[in-house]
Structure 1
């Protein structure tokens, strides 16, 4: 009696290769609609990012919404197997959205400094006054020494 294990032909066969099902037209439309909403939110954030301080909360909210919708759009685009270049473009848009949202968050977090900078820039009439406002803002009101 030979105990070499079960016979080779007793193993179950490999399952047949299955292909991922093709996305339906409704899934493709949904991915496109998420993409258009992401583009609209990103454009709204870009347009409204130069508003004065109490209104800087609007592009911040648009940026956060654009991040969420953009991630959802990217997932849907990948699942639908849409063009690879579209994936790259949406990824670059998400990176730009994250960068701008981070900057807007910093401006809102430094509310008193940003408010001081905005009032200084509104009253600046000369190039020297504008440069003084920028210098004061970049050094956090003199807290950071100049290089």
Structure 2
């Protein structure tokens, strides 16, 4: 059974410390289960002349929802960024999931002309939040 992340009602988090706390909570879950988790970061960067802001309320979250079975939580960070978290994932599965999301985001970028960025970081029981955040931001690349 699929659940809807209800992204439209998600509070937009602007404080980096709040995000770190949410990641730490997920990291504790990973440690307790002895599993690996993951963070996936998606950012949409609208061009001023594109007038595509409404896509953030429809198309990006639809892509996320189609792939939500793999994730425990979705957070909106600032206006145009999403952070997906899971506390149980295998590295091979993560590559498949991210590849699928990446293809869908590339298609969206080609159709709309908006800039989309994607970053991924594994959560392992011996990680610290700061290291995870650094790896996440260092992994960000432009999708389209």
Please, what TM-score do these two structures have when normalized by structure 1?
A: 0.26
Q: Which has the higher helix share?
A: 1
Q: Which has the larger radius of gyration?
A: 1
Which structure exhibits the higher relative contact order, with contacts defined as CA atoms closer than 8 Å and separated by 6 or more residues?
2
Please, what TM-score do these two structures have when normalized by structure 2?
A: 0.26
